Structure 1
Amino acid sequence: FALFILHLIIPLPPLLGYALDPSVDTHQAGSYSYIGAVDEAEKNKGLTVFESGGKKPEKRKKVKGGDAGEIDNFLGPWAKYVDEKDVAKPTEEEQKELDEITAKRQKKGRNEEEAPAEEKTILHVKDMYDYQGRSYLHAPQDVGVNLRTADAPDKCYLPKKQIHVWSGHTKGVSAIRLFPKSGHLLLSSSMDCKIKLWEVYSERRCIRTFIGHSKAVRDICFNNTGTQFLSAGYDRYLKLWDSETGQCISRFTNRKVPYCVKFNPDEDKQNLFVAGMSDKKIVQWDIRTGEVVQEYDRHLGAVNTITFVDENRRFVSTSDDKSLRVWEWDIPVDFKYIAEPSMHSMPAVTLSPNGKWLACQSMDNQILIFGAQNRFRLNKKKVFKGHMVAGYACQVDFSPDMSYVVSGDADGKLNIWDWKTTKLYHRIKAHDKVCISALWHPHETSKVITCGWDGQIKLWD
């Protein structure tokens, strides 16, 4: 019974039915004597259950590896086995999968080398010119606001309600830009690969659609006069358009995706623009020649924003490498590099109307303020919190009198903070999806334009 219990606890090997005869002294007899199943014992040559009957497997031989004195030829313990195969051939199924993958890759490569999409434009208004022969680029004078003044309104107020919706894009809107100085026109780029120009005043119609990118449009930028603008698309092309005729003047590419694009704001450098690329570079092009004239290659991640500061002598760039770098124009070495271990990437940056501050949308759900003149230090007293933006490049803006800061967020809300106290004053549910951009009209006391991934652009007052 004890043996049975032991057998349950420690499983014993199967019994063979014979054993050595303990009454015979094997040393004296000179041979082994068995009791029990003697035939079995002779058949198994007297092996016990604890001895294996098979031969020991032969040890795999290694290639002999020369003399230890000769360093070049000595293989030592790293020598291969004699029967070792160098080439592993995939099975039929594996080969099938590999063929599919390579075919897909080749197809993908072919698509990327395709010619740029054909450009065309659609005019949506009957009369492009008024009775004096002026086009829609001419700022109107009968809208109750002086659009030609350079002065900001004295006091701004919080917008309360929605007064208009511009709808025409079939997918999310990625960026909106107001016409330089006057702000009487609004340019929007979208994930439906189209760019549209809208009226901000009077009937608020869609004036023109620009079609020419084969993938989503990421960024747009007017020149100083608003007669031309640049668009950057995921099809790896940057295109220069005529705002009035809708014609595509030229196209630029370096086979990388442009994430942001900016004209140099100096009057004498309107032929130059810079683009932040997916391959960590900032590339500077000359429109007249179509050539790359400078490359700023110091970032360690894709470049998300470029902002001109200090009377356009310098520009600030932010990147996925969580740093902020300041560059002198045309000098490809950053003269200031800001990166703290606690910093997050800042995919949207806006310069304040007085040119003193940079508002940076940080990926830890706060807006950080950096000085935009010589020191570029973080202003620790001014941090705007209370909104959810992690993962989205929501554009920030200031009211013209510098009393408010506005930003969209991931929930589609428009958030308004007080500049002095950094208190969150007001929240409006503006869009069904992400509210990606908020612009405060430069000549209005309380008009804010927002756009979202629901494809709508809204005017608030």
Structure 2
Amino acid sequence: MSSLVAYEDSDSEEDRSGQASPARQAAATSGVELQLPSGLPAGGDAGSVKGKPSSASGSSSTLHSAPDLQYRWREGERRGSRETLTLNPPKRFPTDPWTRQASSYPCPESSRETEQGHAVKGENTSLNTQKRPAQQPQIVPGRVKPYVPKRMRLRQLDTRDTEHASDSELQPDSQHDSGLLSQVSQSVKPYLDSKYSCTEIPKRLLFKLLEHQGPVNGIQWCPVPQSSHLLLSASMDRTVKVWDAVDSGRCWKTYSSHSGAVRDACWSSCGRNILSGSFDTTAHLTDVETGQRLAELRNEFRVCCLALQPRDPNVFLCGGFSSEVKAWDCRSCQVIRSYKAGIQQTLDIVFLPEGKEFITSTDSVSRDSADRTLIAWDFQTTAKVSNQIYQERYTCPSLALHPKESVFVAQTNGNYMALFSAQRPYRINKKKRYEGHKVEGYAVGCEFSPDGSLLATGSSNGVVHFYNYLTSRVVRTLPAHQQACVCVTFHPVLPAITATCDWSGEISTWH
């Protein structure tokens, strides 16, 4: 047995002198063939090199390199005798991709470096023939991002868009404040700190507003007490207007974003935006200050009525010339729910207390009973709660909810208003019927006073009727217009102010 030292040189003695090196000569003399272990690079410096006999005699010998000797190549000592030389470890990787493990072989950049970045001279490392297990990559916080599924990424984007739309569309923006909403009426200011008193029936005309060129379908006071002197009107002349109907009687803003007649319009709960529905099949959300259209919600039918969700001001119901009612979200501009029934048109929508259920008035009248004339819906499940509420063969063009009690009233084309319970099973109150006015096919609206003591309605002959809610008797009539009076609304702060509108485009405020 002979012990030899095996090393590799890029420029070996055999290449220079044409003769074999002493180590190779000794191996050839003894009949030993040098072989490298599997998984190591060809020509590498192994910790141990085994030899097998080339002859069939069966003699064998093993060549071992001294494990404790450390070799390093030094320039100028390439020729010489058996003096101790140092050899750099190989810097090549195995060619077999299945056995390649980066952690088992030294990389060219793997030499230890000092804090200044220079390699330490005289430091050697021994190469172990055993494969070390592959090291898991270290995740540096802030550099390597974890994988997020596509569904979660889309959900996060929707959440961000929702928050941005909620902040930009429906929240007040102090940078765009103008005199329209920041001004407080001198007539309203004394009543802001006091509780609403008993409603008074108006007697004389305060202002007459005549700028609309077509019939006015609806009017509404601003729900914010500080801006309650502003009156919103929707007209068939394709415009929506905002008026100072208490102090000056002038028109502050005109919005002409619709290409068809505006059938309904209402304020947002914050008073900064206006929601309008038109016969051009769209519903628009408009900024009151700038007049900019924040959202355009396109339907497949002509819009006739709108209703804001009491618990979520970003959601509203939209109905019209269709068999279904859609629930829209202003932030995402998408339909979130759909309520389908066997009808042709939805005339009006009103939310019941707490906003969990709502009532729709339709044009569906059967031969023997008014099945599906009034339908109660569950807002969350879109299920029909009841469709046997009103059994008489009259359609109901408008609905109104009592501000304090759990009841609602329906205006009927039978020239009377019927009172219903707002709790299941929504039965009609047969003891109370508000009669004396004429409807005659007009979409005549009705409304309760803020304290709930009075019920007002227009009529086809232009006269406004005030009823006592408890006794259902007419308290007073007010000849307001020459043509059909289609809407009456009480001021939310001032107890003696009422506004009316008619089919000729005239708006009047009464005191």
Same fold (TM over 0.5): yes
Q: Could you tell me which residue of structure 2 aligns to residue 234 of structure 1?
A: 279
Q: Could you tell me which residue of structure 2 aligns to residue 256 of structure 1?
A: 301
Say if 1:190 and 1:216, in contact at 8 Å, map to a contact too: yes
- TM-score, length basis structure 2: 0.61
CA–CA distance in structure 2, aligned partners of residues 247 and 363 of structure 1 = 38
Query: How many angstroms does 1:144 deviate by?
Result: 5.2
- TM-score, length basis structure 1: 0.68
When the two chains are superposed, the root-mean-square deviation of aligned CA atoms in Å is 2.2
Which residue identity is paired with 2:481? H
The runs of at least 4 consecutive aligned structure 1 residues that moved more than 6 Å come to none
Structure 2 CA distance for partners of 1:310 and 1:139, relative to 1, 3 Å = farther
CA–CA distance in structure 2, aligned partners of residues 139 and 309 of structure 1 = 33
Q: Could you tell me which residue of structure 2 aligns to residue 244 of structure 1?
A: 289
Structure 2 CA distance for partners of 1:346 and 1:385, relative to 1, 3 Å = same
Secondary structure of 1:338's partner?
Answer: coil
Q: Could you tell me which residue of structure 1 aligns to residue 181 of structure 2?
A: 137
Structure 2 CA distance for partners of 1:197 and 1:286, relative to 1, 3 Å = same
CA–CA distance in structure 2, aligned partners of residues 228 and 338 of structure 1 = 36
CA–CA distance in structure 2, aligned partners of residues 187 and 392 of structure 1 = 21
* 2:450 counterpart (382, 391, 400): 400
* 2:327 counterpart (284, 299, 302): 284
Larger radius of gyration: 2
Q: Could you tell me which residue of structure 2 aligns to residue 50 of structure 1?
A: none
Query: How many angstroms does 1:306 deviate by?
Result: 1.2
Query: How many angstroms does 1:367 deviate by?
Result: 0.7
Say if 1:147 and 1:181, in contact at 8 Å, map to a contact too: no
* 2:344 counterpart (293, 301, 307): 301
Say if 2:188 and 2:229, in contact at 8 Å, map to a contact too: no
Say if 2:460 and 2:484, in contact at 8 Å, map to a contact too: yes
CA–CA distance in structure 2, aligned partners of residues 158 and 271 of structure 1 = 35
Query: How many angstroms does 1:408 deviate by?
Result: 0.6
> 1:418-437: CA deviations, max 9, x gaps?
22221112222211211000
Structure 2 CA distance for partners of 1:133 and 1:188, relative to 1, 3 Å = closer
* 2:507 counterpart (443, 450, 457): 457
> 1:245-271: CA deviations, max 9, x gaps?
1111121112211111122121xx222
Say if 1:139 and 1:184, in contact at 8 Å, map to a contact too: no
Structure 1: state its 5+ residue gaps.
1-129
CA–CA distance in structure 2, aligned partners of residues 373 and 339 of structure 1 = 11
CA–CA distance in structure 1, aligned partners of residues 411 and 193 of structure 2 = 30
Q: Could you tell me which residue of structure 2 aligns to residue 379 of structure 1?
A: 429
Query: How many angstroms does 1:146 deviate by?
Result: 4.5
Q: Could you tell me which residue of structure 2 aligns to residue 413 of structure 1?
A: 463
> 1:338-394: CA deviations, max 9, x gaps?
345424111101111214221210110001111123442211122100111020111
CA–CA distance in structure 1, aligned partners of residues 336 and 177 of structure 2 = 39
Which residue identity is paired with 1:169? H
Note if 1:200 corresponds to 2:245. Answer: yes
Structure 2 CA distance for partners of 1:399 and 1:222, relative to 1, 3 Å = same
Structure 2 CA distance for partners of 1:369 and 1:146, relative to 1, 3 Å = farther
CA–CA distance in structure 2, aligned partners of residues 299 and 181 of structure 1 = 38
Structure 2 CA distance for partners of 1:157 and 1:213, relative to 1, 3 Å = same
> 1:51-108: CA deviations, max 9, x gaps?
xxxxxxxxxxxxxxxxxxxxxxxxxxxxxxxxxxxxxxxxxxxxxxxxxxxxxxxxxx
Structure 2 counterparts to residues 62-77 of structure 1, below 5 A? none
Structure 2 CA distance for partners of 1:134 and 1:257, relative to 1, 3 Å = closer
Say if 1:284 and 1:292, in contact at 8 Å, map to a contact too: yes
> 1:401-443: CA deviations, max 9, x gaps?
2222111100111111122221112222211211000001122
CA–CA distance in structure 2, aligned partners of residues 359 and 324 of structure 1 = 11
Number of corresponding residues = 329
Structure 2 CA distance for partners of 1:139 and 1:375, relative to 1, 3 Å = farther
CA–CA distance in structure 2, aligned partners of residues 285 and 455 of structure 1 = 30
CA–CA distance in structure 2, aligned partners of residues 439 and 317 of structure 1 = 21
CA–CA distance in structure 1, aligned partners of residues 214 and 488 of structure 2 = 18
Say if 2:318 and 2:327, in contact at 8 Å, map to a contact too: yes
Which residue identity is paired with 1:443? V
Query: How many angstroms does 1:139 deviate by?
Result: 5.8
Say if 2:323 and 2:341, in contact at 8 Å, map to a contact too: yes
CA–CA distance in structure 2, aligned partners of residues 336 and 146 of structure 1 = 45
Secondary structure of 1:136's partner?
Answer: helix
CA–CA distance in structure 2, aligned partners of residues 452 and 302 of structure 1 = 23
Q: Could you tell me which residue of structure 2 aligns to residue 437 of structure 1?
A: 487
Structure 2 CA distance for partners of 1:174 and 1:340, relative to 1, 3 Å = closer
CA–CA distance in structure 1, aligned partners of residues 299 and 471 of structure 2 = 45
Q: Could you tell me which residue of structure 2 aligns to residue 16 of structure 1?
A: none
Query: How many angstroms does 1:200 deviate by?
Result: 2.8
CA–CA distance in structure 1, aligned partners of residues 248 and 205 of structure 2 = 16
Which residue identity is paired with 2:392? S
* 2:394 counterpart (336, 344, 367): 344
Query: How many angstroms does 1:299 deviate by?
Result: 4.3
> 1:222-276: CA deviations, max 9, x gaps?
211111121111111111111111111121112211111122121xx22221101
CA–CA distance in structure 1, aligned partners of residues 222 and 268 of structure 2 = 9
Q: Could you tell me which residue of structure 1 aligns to residue 257 of structure 2?
A: 212
Structure 2 CA distance for partners of 1:339 and 1:147, relative to 1, 3 Å = same
Structure 2: state its 5+ residue gaps.
1-173, 366-372
Secondary structure of 1:218's partner?
Answer: strand
Structure 2 CA distance for partners of 1:145 and 1:372, relative to 1, 3 Å = farther
Query: How many angstroms does 1:156 deviate by?
Result: 2.1
